[in-house]
A = this chain, B = another copy of it.
Amino acid sequence: MVRYSLSRDPGTGTDYHAHSKRVINKDGSFNVKKAGLGPNTRNAYQSLVKMSWARFFLVSFIFLFIVNGVFALLYTWVGIEKLGEVEEKGWFNEFMYAYYFSFQTFTTVGYGIYHPIGHLANVISTIESIIGWMCFALVTGILYGRFSKPSARLMYSEKALVAPYGNGRNSLQFRVANMRNSMLMEMEATVLLSFVDKSRQNWKREFTPLLLERDHILFFPLTWTIVHPIDENSPFYNKAKEDIETMDAELLIRIKGYDDTFAQTVHSRFSYRCDEMVWGAQYHPAFDIDSNGDIHLFFDRIHHYDKLDTSTAFSDSSN
């Protein structure tokens, strides 16, 4: 922890005068609210790319109906007779037929049964067709941005385990698997322990990296159990479960790797708080080999573990 002792502001903050919520949420986002930036500094494209599909389609349709509604109003203002012969009369009918014509122009369908007559209607429909043309290019780009955005979808075991590790030692473990059909390679894992030093009056949040038995693997077709040995260099060494809880401990996890379908490096974040760690347990294997020699990976088994009877330094105090 010596390397970090001088860093007053290493990106995650150190001066915490109060209890805070978890640092990394379960979806990988950080628990920070930003203020003091005008709306112009938000990146509309990033929002449109990141929002859910349901929301994206809702936003798109509302946008389409408003834009076309504005043009429909313009056409009714010009006069519906400038769009051709409308069978049904009345402001509602006129507005609706203007609306249909607007969409026929915007989407460039242009049946022609309705068509602009006179300069004003022609100028408005020309402008609308250009706007539709541009909006289409925008939507194409956003849609491509949405589904081509590289991202990892890892399944993390629900619980991190404090499991025996041979020679009477313990280890902290969690397990991940790749939920996508893509192949992940050259995986790297980094685990930070975040805890609050309450020994001083001004609480300090500290971040210290946990040494891993193996922090990278080449291929990742099955499951990967990431193991932090609890030896004399570990901040967990000789600590009971209660000590860890008092420290407001949280494991901050970053796993990255090369995704063969996206052909790019993808990142995943996750965290375990104290109540998501189990003292004295061991994971079930999550895959089987059938009689044909085929290997089957079962995602529902990623979370499965056995409580151990053997009392260890940790389980002593927790069970």
Question: Which one of B9, B30, B125 lies within 8 Å of A221 (CB-CB)?
Answer: B30
| CB <8 Å contact, A219 and B254 | yes
Decide: A20 and B138 in contact? CB cutoff 8 A: no
- Contacts A12-B221, A129-B103; is A181 near B261 (CB within 8 Å)? no
On chain B, the residues within 8 Å of A319 by CB distance are none
CB of A64 within 8 Å of the partner chain: yes
Q: How far is the CB of A78 from chain B (nearest CB, A)?
A: 14
Q: Mark A109-125, 1 if CB is under 8 A from B, else 0.
A: 11111111111001101
Given the interface pairs A19-B293, A107-B108, the reply to whether A301 lies near B36 with Cβ below 8 Å is: yes
Find residues 22-58 in chain A having any chain B CB closer than 8 Å to their own CB: 23, 28-37, 41-43, 45-47, 49-50
In the complex, whether A2 has a CB less than 8 A from a CB of chain B is: no
| Residue A79 is within 8 A (CB to CB) of chain B in the complex | no
| Of A183-191, A239-247, A272-280, A306-314, the one touching chain B | A183-191
Interface residue range, chain A: 35 or more
Smallest beta-carbon distance A209→chain B, Å:
8
B136 touches A147 (CB 8 A): no
Query: Are the C-beta atoms of A103 and B126 separated by less than 8 Å?
Result: yes
> Is the beta-carbon distance between B223 and A13 smaller than 8 angstroms?
yes
- Cα distance, A111 to B128, chains bound together (Å): 13
Counting CB contacts under 8 A, is A137 at the interface?
yes
Residue of B with least CB distance to A226 = B9
A122-145 interface bits toward B, Cβ cutoff 8 Å, 1 = contact, 0 = none: 110110011011101111111111
Given the interface pairs A20-B293, A254-B185, the reply to whether A130 lies near B103 with Cβ below 8 Å is yes
Chain B: CB-nearest residue to A105: B109
Q: Which residues of B contact A144 (CB under 8 A)?
A: 137, 140-141, 144-145
Whether, in the assembled complex, A150 has its beta carbon less than 8 Å from a beta carbon of chain B, the answer is: yes
List 13 additional A-B contacts (Cβ < 8 Å) besides A33-B297, A100-B125, A109-B125: A8-B225, A8-B227, A9-B222, A17-B289, A30-B221, A33-B294, A33-B296, A108-B108, A109-B110, A136-B136, A137-B139, A190-B218, A258-B267
Q: Which 3 A-B pairs have the closest CB atoms?
A: A141-B144, A112-B112, A36-B299
